[in-house]
Amino acid sequence: MMQPKSIEALLLKGNLLLDMKKVPHAMDHFREAISVAAFRYETHKGLVDCYLAQSRHREAISVATTACKQLNNSQRALTLFATVLAKDPVNMSTAKAKTLLEKALHSDPHYLPAIYLLAEIYDQELEGEKARDLLSKALKTQSTAKLHQMLADLMAKNHDEEKAMHHYNVALNLDPKNISAQEGLQKMEHATDTVLEPSYDLEMEEMNSDEAELEESETEAVWSDGDLNLASSNVSF
């Protein structure tokens, strides 16, 4: 039996090779890891990631299905399977993916990867209210930058600027390097500036209009005085 350290070495090397885009070599390490430690979630995920990197979704689905069986439908395995289904550009089995994620969250309501993915699917299927409710419920028991950032994105889409800016700011306080939160906040600030500029121009236009009217009335008053003086000089006694 392979020692735990040897399994960790296989996983580490497999992930390094995958990061280096040496996918076939990475697959060899993950397959070997599965052969000796099929009870480890990381072994299955590594092989799934390799197939997805090659756009081989059918094989990825097969590995994810096996993972669910060997890991007793744990929330991690169910979420892995749902991830593969959601990324399949041909079949796009989002209905089955939602079922798997809901089952995962029934097992562990606080499992963040399932919450993130399910919220994304709800949003893609124009079920924004369900996505907002799911994220808001999660925030009652745990606070992460991604939860706040995702909820902020949904609030922005729903034109709730005040709440969106609040959650973007919280996300950045928790993780100043959150790129999505940075970009979302910048878009909102730009949109706010764009809204304010026409208002300023309108005020300037109104001020110019008032000044023109004042000048016109003053001119009329001068002409009226001139006419009055002319009329007085023409009066004969």
What is the CATH architecture of 143-217?
Alpha Horseshoe (1.25)
Domain extent listing, the chain:
1-54, 143-217
> What digits encode the pLDDT tens for the residues 115-147?
999 999 999 999 999 999 999 999 999 999 999
- Three-state secondary structure along 67-88? HHHHCCCCHHHHHHHHHHHHHC
* Helices (H), ranges, the chain: 4-19, 23-36, 41-53, 57-70, 75-87, 94-107, 112-124, 128-139, 145-157, 161-174, 179-233
pLDDT score recorded for residue 194: 61
> What digits encode the pLDDT tens for the residues 66-101?
999 999 999 999 999 999 999 887 766 788 999 999
pLDDT band at 57 (very low <50, low <70, confident <90, very high): very high
pLDDT score recorded for residue 230: 43
